[in-house]
Amino acid sequence: MTQHRILITGGASGIGAGIARHWANMGNDVLITDVDDALGAALAQELGATYQHHDVTSVEQWAQFISQHKPFDVVFLNAGVASGGNIFGATNPEEVFEFDLGNYRRVSSINIDGVVLGVAHLANAMVKNGGGDIVVTASMAGLFPIQADPIYGLTKHAVLGFVKSLAPTLIEHNVCLSAICPFFVDTPLVNAESQALIRETGFDILTVDQVIDAAQTAVAERSAGAQWVIFPGLPVVKAPEPALLP
């Protein structure tokens, strides 16, 4: 089997850790990056992979990172966070809403900048190396409204717009950019209380293994700009493209 060079950002836990475990167990050369050094280093040691501290929101760290590494064959831009709730929700009864600017900046920088900067710094090296695959972890919140966390929804809509818009250019140079869009997943991002509320609506919670299957499909199918939807109880499918205006 051919050994591939794999990069996973946000790979210390959750979906990223599952993807890292899958590709490392297949015998690939896996590099995990994160800001949680304890979890990341422990996982890398377990898998025989490599760990590196990396802040995906930092232009300087991306520039340094790309100078340290040879081109990757497959990249999973997975780092992401939720806002922790509806930051427009008012706690003061005299206010319609309250806006937490710091939380907004934090979520936007990780979820959006982490993808845009990653592609900006990795794609050229991939092209020069003959091509590769970049898979972004988006969300069903990028396809549908998410009233409970509108800023998270904003960032995931932005990520999907970026993927769909840039993918046609990159595929001309054999770099396939696509995204996976899971429903709520059993990870630290969705706490036990939230999972219970979701189940009360009649929906189940995805396992990390189900998301890994979608990530594998994205790499195998190489459908540029695709948004691979993962929903409980249904097979992985591509989100339909909107009809173009005449």
Catalytic residue IDs: 152
Helices (H), 69-207: 101-108, 114-128, 150-171, 192-200
Q: In which residue are the tokens 């997943």 written?
A: 185
- C-alpha separations of 120 from 56, 84, 115, 124, 170 in Å: 12, 28, 9, 8, 11
* CB 152, CB 111: distance < 8 Å: yes
Helix, strand, or coil here: 137?
A: strand
| CA gap 47, 120 in Å, rounded | 28
H/E stretch holding 228: strand 227-230
**Cα 27–233–115 angle (5° rounding)?**
55
Cα–Cα dist 223/180, whole Å: 12
Structure tokens at 34: 């994160």
Residue 210 phi/psi, 5° resolution?
-65, -35
Tracing tokens 């932005």 back to the chain, one arrives at 158
Measure the CA–CA gap between 183 and 139, rounded to whole angstroms: 7
